[in-house]
Structure 1
Amino acid sequence: MTFSHTLSDPRVETALTRMFELAEQDDAAMARAAAQLPGGLIPLTPRLTPQEYADAAAEIYMPVSAAGGRLLYSLVRAVRPATVVEFGTSFGISTLHLAAAVRDNGAGHVVTTELSEEKTAAARRTFTETGLDDVITVLRGDARETLAEIEGPVGLVLLDGWKDLCLPVLRLLEPHLPPGALVVADDVDQEALRPYLEYVRDRSHGYESVTFPVEDGMEISTRL
């Protein structure tokens, strides 16, 4: 029996290896970005707009871990969602894992959104180079606006943009989440994600939630 495994495609492997290597320079890039902003890069403050933060962070990859990427791939393969939504494309590491799973499922589409113009352009080039651009739609702009245009059921959501905005983005998407839909949030150790975690861990809001111990932790929540 022949198995389709797009993560093993040389084009995808090469792109992921390159981006993970570049992401190892994130600490230096984050220090440069923080030096440009009053109060540093994180958390977001009302003094600057999300666009200004995105522009300052244009060099920073902020990727999921390699293990987190494989987990995302496996979840998409298992759930087989018709539509995957990602908040926070960055340079496209997590997007490639999601899209590879969609490709191997033989159906589905990934809709991802990014505020940085530089990152959006770089990600689109990578998606074309890897041959996955036909299963990915990149929306450039504020996710609270771009994702307002989503139609139809969303089977899996990845929230990996600014942590302060994960809860507003989830609330925006909730009308499109059928029972059984999965919502995954990365970096549960970050204090800025606390309001989101409190929300999805409260069953009265309609989720069964569990923390998966991969790198900085992923919160996996099932829509009830």
Structure 2
Amino acid sequence: MNTLTTTDTAAVLDRLFAAADLEEVNPAPWPLDTPFADASAKQRADALAGEYMPISRSGGQLLYALVRHGRPETIIEFGTSYATSTIHLAAAVADNGIGHVWTTELSQAKVDAARRNLEQAGVAQYVTVLAGDALETLAEVRGPIGLLLLDGWKDLCLPVLRLLEDRLAPAALIIADDTTFANMADYLAYVRNPAHGYVTIAFPVEDGMEISCRT
């Protein structure tokens, strides 16, 4: 069984990817006077509330396959956006018959849109969308965490990992998207240092992905 191929789920994903493709061809200008790098996470989230910024199609398929194989009971996602990656995770949970996805989003507009998309895709029951600052909303989520997806603001990926590190299950997978971005350098240096307890590999999907195993 593959929920990704069912009519409702496939239709929502096709719509989200099509919208993201149009967005890439006609990107919206940064709307604030404050430079992006100097804006707070909340300012960035509110300013880009209409931007999809999804995982790639191949990245989504990879997420689905990894969850199907590993059967993690607790999955954490940092950065819901419009729920494209969340739907892939939730579809795998549904097909495994075990697990739950906890996902975070700072933009209330995106929280509302993500919840609608999850409902329309038929996988909302497998997901809890945590609205607000991930460094706060994830503080009380219980482990052990079997899979962690880092796809929010890149400068916060390492702080989120460090926040959750003591709740990672042995052999947990940590997947970071958009690793070709310059502001992922600190994160990559951390997980690629064996002293921090990871075996890690760069995976060649669009914009890069790092897959790390907690040892």
TM-score range, shorter chain: over 0.9
Report the equivalent of 1:101: 92
Residue 161 of structure 2 corresponds to which residue in structure 1?
A: 170
CA positional deviation for 1:27 = 3.9
What are the equivalent positions in structure 2 for 1:33-44 lying under 5 Å apart?
34-39=30-35, 41=36, 44=37
Pair 134,172 (structure 1): closer, same or farther in 2 beyond 3 Å: same
Give the aligned partner of residue 18 of structure 1.
Answer: 15
Give the aligned CA root-mean-square deviation in angstroms: 1.2
Displacement of 1:30: 4.6
Following TM superposition, by how much is the alpha carbon of 1:28 offset from its aligned partner in structure 2, in angstroms? 6.8
1:135 aligned onto 2:126: yes
Q: Give the secondary structure class of the aligned counterpart of 1:199.
A: helix
The 5 A counterparts of 1:60-209 are: 60-209=51-200
Question: Whole-Å Cα distance in 2 between the matches of residues 198 and 134 of structure 1?
Answer: 36
Instruction: List, as ranges, runs of 4+ consecutive aligned residues in structure 1 with deviation greater than 6 Å.
Output: none
- Unaligned stretches of 5+ residues in structure 2: none
1:162 deviation in Å? 0.3
Aligned equivalents of 2:33, 2:202: Cα separation in 1: 32
Instruction: Name the CA distance, whole Å, in 1 between partners of 2:127 and 2:98.
Output: 12
SS of corresponding position for 1:85: strand
> For 1:37 and 1:222, how far apart are their aligned partners in 2?
40
In structure 1, the residue matched to 2:4 is: 7
Aligned equivalents of 1:139, 1:211: Cα separation in 2: 29
Superposition deviation, residue 85 in structure 1: 0.3
Q: Secondary structure at the match of 1:156?
A: strand
Question: Would you say the 8 A contact 2:103–2:130 is kept in 1?
Answer: yes
CA distance in 2, matches of 1:116, 1:188: 23
Give TM-score scaled by structure 1 length: 0.93
- How high is the TM-score relative to the length of structure 2? 0.97
Query: Residues 8-54 of structure 1, C-alpha deviation per residue, up to 9 Å, x if partnerless?
Result: 1110000000000111233477533x142422x3xx32xx3211110
Q: Distance in 2 between matches of 1:85 and 1:30?
A: 29
Deviates more, 1:70-79 or 1:126-135: 126-135
Is the CA contact (8 Å cut-off) linking 2:31 and 2:47 kept in structure 1?
A: no
Gaps of 5+ in 1: none
